[in-house]
Amino acid sequence: MPAEVIERKLTAYSAHVVLTRLQRIGLFAGLALLAGVAVLRPMLVLQVIVALVTLCYGAAIAFRVALVYAAGRGEHRVLISDEDARAVADAELPVYTVLVPAYREPSVIGALMAHLSALEYPRDKLEVILLLEPDDTETIEAARAALTGEHLRILVVPESMPKTKPKACNVGLAEATGEFVTIYDAEDIPDPLQLRRAVVALRRLGPEYVCLQAELGYFNTDQNRITRWFALEYATWFRSLLPGLVALGMPVPLGGTSNHFRTRELRELGAWDPYNVTEDADLGIRLARSGFRVGVLESVTLEEANSDFINWIKQRSRWYKGYLMTWLVHLRSPRATFKQLGWRGLLCLNLFVGGTPLAALLNAVLWATTLLWFLAQPAVMEQIFIPPFYYIGVFCLVFGNATVIYLNVLSVRSMDRPDLLGTALLSPLYWAMMSLASAKAAWQLVFKPSYWEKTTHGLHLPTTAPAASDDI
């Protein structure tokens, strides 16, 4: 099945158009109505906005607490022991396709080969497809030089727009021969038994489960403060929030790599949306819409945590933009979405997929408002924050922030890294970075929706030049 045929199946939910005509009309009508009322009764509009924002914010926090509570029982992570994984005879294993999309990453190709060769899977059942872009001769050369083994091959993605990772993955999927397929990024270090665990788990769970999301962690957690924050956040995400979603029977926005699919169903579903910049989260929602379930596999793939401030902002803004896109795409036909996802799914879509970036954006506004109040105490604000919502707002400010910090402290426990406690307590600074990223994401969503913010990898590598010599 060629990539075009796969992609054609999802045109209705493609982020090629961010807002459909109907959505656009609705948005403009809503804004016009708001502006009209604002002229007549400005105070009323402000009060309503504050009330809505406060309620949504409170709901998003409550939702997170519910997820952590649901995940707390721990039975929703799929655990396959080493013995069980190795027990399957080689002959019984299916052909497994590993897609590795890479762009401008010649420096990590060597490490990639080492990590792939560590996978415990019979070579004659393994198919690794390296997806490279035609203009990226450096990586192509590096890959050609490093290529070892029959099961590895390079697929140069034909030149066509859009030039994105999901596009490359679709091309790779079209050529895949495996019964199962997974994606690794070039810098990933997967658990060597992960493929075997996924095979065993998918066979045990039955045809209802089409996808398993492996846990992601970082190999450079201790590089600097940003990577420590990032590691804590990932621990919360993959050990509390995603299992919570599974436990509550909600759609799971997938993470960028290490998701293991049944190839046939993935093709039927239309695979990845090449226009969505978080194609993985979108795919997770689409899986749920088709009635499939996603499990969280207890097997860690180590990634490179983004250690640089600007690089981090770029990556995070792409994620947030993608989440917002996915949210808008799946709100195109609310009735169909409700019918397919149910109220739980709708709740997840709004409070988790749309809520994560929006909460980060609102955070900045709310903190600024709080600061303004403490600095100047303008009388207008007393009129805007009317009593019940004011108390909810104060509750969010005190309880909500404490809760999110507490979740981070919980992750310190679950990672068994007591030295990260200080980092967890400093996480409000990390929220400021999130707010910045969400502002960038909102800006880009309006002006450059399909632009793929490329993240630079390999920043954990030591610089090749000798270290600066000592003072003379």
Question: Which three-class secondary structure string do you get for the chain?
Answer: CCHHHHHHCCHHHCCCCCCCHHHHHHHHHHHHHHHHHHHHCHHHHHHHHHHHHHHHHHHHHHHHHHHHHHHCCCCCEECCCHHHHHHCCHHHCCCEEEEEECCCCHHHHHHHHHHHHCCCCCHHHEEEEEEECCCCHHHHHHHHHHCCCCCEEEEECCCCCCCCHHHHHHHHHHHCCCCEEEECCCCCEECCCHHHHHHHHHHHHCCCEEEEEEEEEECCCCCCHHHHHHHHHHHHHHHHHHHHHHHCCCCCCCCCCCEEEEHHHHHHHCCCCCCCCCHHHHHHHHHHHCCCEEEEEEEEEEECCCCCHHHHHHHHHHHHHHHHHHHHHHCCCHHHHHHHHHHHHHHHHHHHHCHHHHHHHHHHHHHHHHHHHHHHCCHHHHHHCCHHHHHHHHHHHHHHHHHHHHHHHHHHHHHCCHHHHHHHHCHHHHHHHHHHHHHHHHHHHHHCCCCCCCCCCCCCCCCCCCCCCCCC
Structure tokens, 304: 């490179």
**Cis amide prior to 162 (ω within 30 degrees):** yes
Task: Rank residues 27 and 365 by Cβ distance to other proteins and give the closer one.
Answer: 365
Rounded to a whole number of angstroms, the minimum distance from the CB of residue 414 to other proteins is 31
| Residue list 364-403, contact with other proteins (CB under 8 A) | 372, 375-376
**Taking CB under 8 A as the rule, does residue 465 contact other proteins?**
yes
Rounded to a whole number of angstroms, the minimum distance from the CB of residue 308 to other proteins is 5
Task: Rank residues 52 and 145 by Cβ distance to other proteins and give the closer one.
Answer: 145
**Taking CB under 8 A as the rule, does residue 456 contact other proteins?**
yes
Rounded to a whole number of angstroms, the minimum distance from the CB of residue 350 to other proteins is 26
- State which of residues 77, 115, 330, 440 lies at the interface with other proteins (CB under 8 A): 440
**Taking CB under 8 A as the rule, does residue 333 contact other proteins?**
no
Rounded to a whole number of angstroms, the minimum distance from the CB of residue 309 to other proteins is 7
- State which of residues 139, 439, 445, 452 lies at the interface with other proteins (CB under 8 A): 439
Task: Rank residues 70 and 384 by Cβ distance to other proteins and give the closer one.
Answer: 384
Rounded to a whole number of angstroms, the minimum distance from the CB of residue 319 to other proteins is 15
Residue written as tokens 């890294």?
417
Task: Rank residues 91 and 465 by Cβ distance to other proteins and give the closer one.
Answer: 465
d(CA 152, CA 150): 6
Interface with other proteins (CB under 8 A), residue total 24
- State which of residues 436, 445, 449, 452 lies at the interface with other proteins (CB under 8 A): 436
CA dist 10 → 167, 207, 323, 448 (Å): 13, 22, 17, 22
Tell me the per-residue interface mask from 109 to 148 with other proteins, x by CB under 8 A, - otherwise.
--------------------------------x--x----
Q: Kindly report the backbone phi and psi dihedral angles of residue 377, in degrees, each rounded to the nearest multiple of 5, phi listed first.
A: 50, 55
Rounded to a whole number of angstroms, the minimum distance from the CB of residue 156 to other proteins is 14
- State which of residues 444, 445, 449, 452 lies at the interface with other proteins (CB under 8 A): 444
Rounded to a whole number of angstroms, the minimum distance from the CB of residue 248 to other proteins is 35
Task: Rank residues 290 and 383 by Cβ distance to other proteins and give the closer one.
Answer: 383
Task: Rank residues 118 and 446 by Cβ distance to other proteins and give the closer one.
Answer: 446
| Residue list 304-323, contact with other proteins (CB under 8 A) | 308-311, 313-314, 317
Contacts of 433 (CB under 8 A, 6+ apart): 226, 309, 312, 313, 316
Span of 78-86, 148-156, 329-337, 437-445 interacting with other proteins by CB under 8 A: 437-445
Rounded to a whole number of angstroms, the minimum distance from the CB of residue 468 to other proteins is 6
Rounded to a whole number of angstroms, the minimum distance from the CB of residue 22 to other proteins is 30
Span of 202-210, 227-235, 328-336, 439-447 interacting with other proteins by CB under 8 A: 439-447
Task: Rank residues 277 and 300 by Cβ distance to other proteins and give the closer one.
Answer: 277
Tell me the per-residue interface mask from 261 to 300 with other proteins, x by CB under 8 A, - otherwise.
----------------------------------------
Rounded to a whole number of angstroms, the minimum distance from the CB of residue 442 to other proteins is 10
Query: What type of residue is 132?
Result: L
Task: Rank residues 81 and 456 by Cβ distance to other proteins and give the closer one.
Answer: 456
Span of 148-156, 335-343, 404-412, 433-441 interacting with other proteins by CB under 8 A: 433-441
Q: Kindly report the backbone phi and psi dihedral angles of residue 20, in degrees, each rounded to the nearest multiple of 5, phi listed first.
A: -75, 170
Residues 131, 169 contacting (CB under 8 angstroms): yes
**Taking CB under 8 A as the rule, does residue 225 contact other proteins?**
no
**Taking CB under 8 A as the rule, does residue 220 contact other proteins?**
no
Site residues, other proteins (CB under 8 A): 141, 144, 308-311, 313-314, 317, 372, 375-376, 436, 439-440, 443-444, 456, 459, 463, 465, 468, 470-471
